Structure 1
Amino acid sequence: MASKVVIVGGGVIGSSVAYFLRASDPAVQVTVIERDPTYARSSSALSAASIRQQFSTPLSVAMSLFGIDFLRSIGARLEVGGDAPSIDLHEGGYLFLATAAGEATLRENHALQTRLGADISLLDAAQLQQRFPWLNTADLAAGAFGESGEGWFDGYGLVQALRKKAQSLGARYVAADAVALERDGRKVTHVVASDGERHACDMLVNAAGAWSRALARMLGIDIPVYARRRSIFNVSTPAKLARCPLLIDPTGVYFRPEGRTYICGTSPAADNDPDDLPLDEVDHALFDDVIWPTLAHRVPEFEALRVENCWSGYYEYNVFDQNAIIGHHPDVDNCVFANGFSGHGLQQGPATGRGVSELILHGRYTTLDLSPLGWERVLENRPIVEKNVV
C-alpha cells in the first residue's frame, strides 16, 4: 500500500481523491500540487456545474447516482469545525428533447436509466407541452425528464468544500506546478515542483485536468486528452419560464436557469474545435449563429434576450471516446490516471475520488468497479460509445 501519495491537480477530481484517501486512511500522506490555488482558470470553477443520470452507459449512470447522493449530503460529509458547506443544489432536472429521428435512442436510454434506479420520466410531445407550456414542441417526438436526482449546483463551492475538508483531514496543498518527474525504472520516485521542492511519492495521481497531457508526456505516455474551449453565455430575458429544467435541445444547445437569468451554450462543430484556444476569448459567433437562433426556435420568448456576461472554460476532452480514463497505465507501476472527463468531471468527481482511493489503498475497486474506464480500452481500440454527449 502507498504511504506517500502525490496528486497533481487540485480541482474536483484531485481534491476528491485527496478527501477520500485521508478519510479512509489517515496514515497515508497526501500532497496535492495545484498550479492555481485561486481556481480562476480551472474547469471545475468555469463549467455549467450540473449533474444528471441521463447517460447511455450503465457505469456513467451509476457514477452519477453516487454523485447525487454525495451532493445531497455534502453538508454532513464535508463539514469542518462546525461549518457545513452548501453548494446550492437545485434538483431542477434535465430535459433531453428528441425529434422523430432520435426518439428510439431516447427510449433505449430511458429503459436503461430507469432499470438502474434513475428517476426519469419519458414524455410524448403532448405531455411536454402540458408540463412546459413555453416550449415549442412542433418538431419534437419525445422528451426525457429527470424528476429528481438531476440539476445544477455551485461548482466552485464544491471544489472549495472538498479542498477544505481534505486539508482539515491532513492533506497538504502546494501552490506550484509539476515541472518534472524522477523515476527509478517503472516507478515514479519524486515529483519536482516549480518552486524547486521535490515531493517523494509511492503513488502519483494525474488529476491535472486540461493540462494532464503534459504530465503524461513526462512519463513517455501519450494520453488522448486535449484542452477544448467551451464558451458559456449568461442571458437575461423578459420570459418567465415556470419549472424550467436544464434543457438539452436535439441540436445540442443547452440552457438552464441561473437565478433570474439563464446560462446557455453548446459545443462547436467537430471540424471547428481546435486545442488550447485562449480562455480569455469567447466564441461570440457560435452564440449569434447557433445558440440564439436555436433558443428562439425552441422557446419563442427567447427571441428577446440580452447577453449579460460570458466566459470560457476548458473541457479536458478525451478525443478517443469522450469518457474518462481512470486507472494504471501498463508502462508505469505507480501512477493512477484520472483524466479526460469531457465535461462530466464535476458530477463524476465523487465516484472517481472514491474509486481512485480504493485502487491506491486496496489495489482494486471495492465499491463501484471503474475498470471499464481503464487504459485497456484505449490501448486495444475499444471505445465506450456514450450516446448522450453534451
Structure 2
Amino acid sequence: MQGFQAEPRHDRYDVVIIGGAIMGSSTAWWLTQLGFQGRILVIERDPTYAQAATTLSFSCIRQQYSTELNVRISQFGADFVQNLRQRMGGDPRVPELKIQNFGYLYLADNEDFAQVLRRNHAVQAAAGAGTRLLAPEEILEEYPFYRVDDIVLGSLNLRDEGYFDGSTVFDWFHRKAREAGVEYLADEVAGLDLAQGRVTGVRLKSGRTLGCGMVVNAAGTRGGRIAAMAGIALPIQPRKRFNWVIQAETPLSRPLPLTIDPSGAYVREVGGGTYMAGGHAEPDGEAAFEDFAMEQEVWMEHIWPAIASRIPAFEAVKVISEWAGHYDFNLLDQNAVTGPHPEIANFLFLNGFSGHGLQQSPAMGRGTAEWIVHGGYRSLDLSAFHYDRIAEERALVEGAII
C-alpha cells in the first residue's frame, strides 16, 4: 500500500497509533473527522498488510450477536458501509458499496444451543435486527439443499448480513486519513518508555524514540506484546483460521447463507457456483505470529466432511484457493478490549476482536477517536469493553463467536 514514510517527520506526536490495518486507520480517519488538530502518526510493521487479519478476513457482517452492544456496533457498521461515499464527504472517487445479503444461518442440533439461539434472538429483536427463528421444515422450505434431520432450530437474518467489500472500506480509511495529514510510518515498535503513570516515548526498531501524547494499541494479534511493553497483561493470542474457496460440480439453487454448522465448520456464498468454507483445527490453540501454513488434514478430516454432510451437493467440489489467517483471540470472553488503561491513562486499547473486527471497525474507530477528542463517548458507549473487566477477570461473554 502506498503512502508510507521511511522516517517520521517529527520527534513528537499527539497521537501514536500502533498498527495501521483497519482498526488503526479507522481511528486515524475518525480523528480527522472529529476536528482533532494535533499530529497523528500510524506505525505499521508490514506496509503490504499481506498477513493482516484485515486482508485475510471472510469480510462479512452480521447482526446476530448475544449482546445488545455488539448488535448496535454492527448496525452502525452496516449503515456506514452502505453510505461510504456520503461518510467520506461525498467524494466521487469513493465507490458506492452494498452488502450482499445472503445472510447468516446458525444451526442448532441440540436443545441447549437452541435455547441460546432463542435468547440471542430476543436480544437481536429488541435492537431491531431482522433475525428469524426457523424450525427444520421451515429451513428446508427456504433452502431445500440442506440436510436437517439432526437440526432442532435455525436462526437466520437476511437484512444487513452477508459479504461487504472490507478491503475498499479499509483503503478509504487509509487514503482519507493520509489526505487529511495523518502520517503513516513503515517501522516496528520495539519498546515503550513510561514515567509517572504515562507512556512518554515510543521506541522504534529503526532506532528513534518518539514522544507521544496518547498511544493507541491497534496491533492486532501482537496487541498483547505491545501491552506487555507497558507492563500490562492482555490475554490476546493468535488463533489460526483456515479458509478455502471451492467450486461445486452442481451449484446450489439459490444463494447460500453463511452457514454455521454445529460441527464448527462454516461456508458461504461467493457467486457463480463458488463458495467459501472455513474453520479451525482441534484443539484450537495458540499459533506463532508467523505461522500461516495450511494444514490439509483440517480440510480432509473436518471441514469437507462437515459441509458435505450438511449440504450433499458439496460432496463433489474442487478447491480452487486456500489460505490461513489469524484471529486476535481474547481468551477471557472473545470480546473487544477498548478505552484507556485505568492507571496508564494515555494508553488506549483496540484489541481482541476475536474474528469480528472488520465489521466493527467503523464504530470502534469512532469510539476511540471520541475518547481521545472528548475524553468520553458521544455515540455508542463502549465502556463495557474497557480494560477493568480484564484486570478483574470479569468476562463479558459474546456467545455468538464463529
Say which is worse superposed, 180-189 or 108-117, in terms of deviation. 180-189
1:266 is aligned to 279
Counterparts of 1:218 and 1:97, CA distance in 2? 42
CA distance in 2, matches of 1:167, 1:86: 21
Which secondary structure state, in structure 1, belongs to the residue aligned with residue 324 of structure 2?
A: strand
Q: Secondary structure at the match of 2:66?
A: coil
Q: CA deviation at 1:81?
A: 5.4
Does 2:256 match 1:244? yes
After superposition, residues 1-390 of structure 1 pair within 5 angstroms as 4-78=14-88, 82-85=92-95, 89-101=99-111, 102-241=113-252, 242-260=254-272, 261-269=274-282, 271-276=283-288, 278-390=290-402
Any conservation in 2 of the 1:80–1:164 contact (CA below 8 Å)?
A: no
Give the superposition deviation at 1:79.
6.0
**Structure 2 Cα separation of the partners of residues 12 and 235 of structure 1:** 27
Tell me if the contact between 1:22 and 1:28 (Cα under 8 Å) persists in the aligned partners: no
Q: CA 1:364/1:247 → structure 2, altered by over 3 Å: closer, same or farther?
A: same
Q: CA deviation at 1:296?
A: 0.7
Give 1:3 shift: 7.6
TM-score (norm 1): 0.95
Any unmatched runs of 5+ in structure 1? none
With over 3 angstroms needed to count, the CA separation of the structure-2 counterparts of 1:26 and 1:182, relative to structure 1, is same
Residues 82, 98 of structure 2: 8 Å contact kept = no
Q: CA deviation at 1:26?
A: 4.1
Q: Does the 8 Å contact 1:268/1:286 carry over to 2?
A: yes
- Note closer, same or farther for the CA distance 1:136–1:111 as it changes in structure 2 (3 Å cut): same
Q: Distance in 2 between matches of 1:274 and 1:361?
A: 36
Q: CA deviation at 1:200?
A: 2.4
C-alpha separation in 1, matches of 2:154 and 2:263: 14
Q: Distance in 2 between matches of 1:9 and 1:79?
A: 25
- For 2:95 and 2:41, how far apart are their aligned partners in 1? 23
Q: Take 2:289 and 2:190, find their aligned partners in 1: how far apart are those partners? A: 22
Contact 2:103/2:258 (CA < 8 Å) preserved in 1?
Answer: yes
Q: Residues 246-271 of structure 1: CA distance to partner in whole angstroms, max 9, x if unpaired?
A: 111122211112233111111333x3
Which secondary structure state, in structure 2, belongs to the residue aligned with residue 202 of structure 1? strand
CA contact (8 A) 2:240 2:292 kept: no
Deviations 1:306-348 (A, max 9, x none): 1111111111011111111111122312110110100011011
**Contact map agreement 1:35 1:176 (CA 8 A) in 2:** yes
Structure 1 CA distance, aligned partners of 2:191 and 2:55? 26
Shift of 1:195: 2.9
- Displacement of 1:45 in angstroms is 0.4
Structure 2 counterpart of 1:188, one-letter code: V
Match of 2:6 in 1: none
Task: Give 1:163 shift.
Answer: 0.5
Q: Which amino acid aligns with 1:15?
A: S
1:33, 1:173 within 8 Å by CA — same for their partners in 2?
yes
Q: CA deviation at 1:59?
A: 1.1
Verify the 8 A CA contact 1:21 1:28 in the aligned structure 2: no
- Alpha-carbon deviation of 1:86? 5.1
**Equivalent residues of 1:54, 1:113 under 8 A apart:** yes
Determine the C-alpha separation between the residues in 2 that align with 1:87 and 1:156.
11
Contact 1:11 / 1:159 at 8 angstroms: preserved in 2? yes
Q: CA deviation at 1:272?
A: 4.2
Percent same amino acid among aligned pairs? Answer: 38
Determine the C-alpha separation between the residues in 2 that align with 1:321 and 1:385: 5
Distance 1:233 1:19 in 2: 33
TM-superposed CA distance for 1:158, in Å, is 2.2
1:137 is displaced (CA, Å) by 1.4
Cα distance, 1:339–1:277 mapped onto 2, change above 3 Å: closer
Q: Distance in 2 between matches of 1:183 and 1:383?
A: 29
Worse-superposed segment, 132-141 or 190-199: 190-199
State the SS of the aligned residue for 2:178.
helix
Tell me which amino acid in the other structure corresponds to 2:78. I
Structure 2: unaligned runs, 5 residues or longer: 1-11
Aligned pairs, how many? Answer: 388
Task: State the SS of the aligned residue for 1:355.
Answer: helix
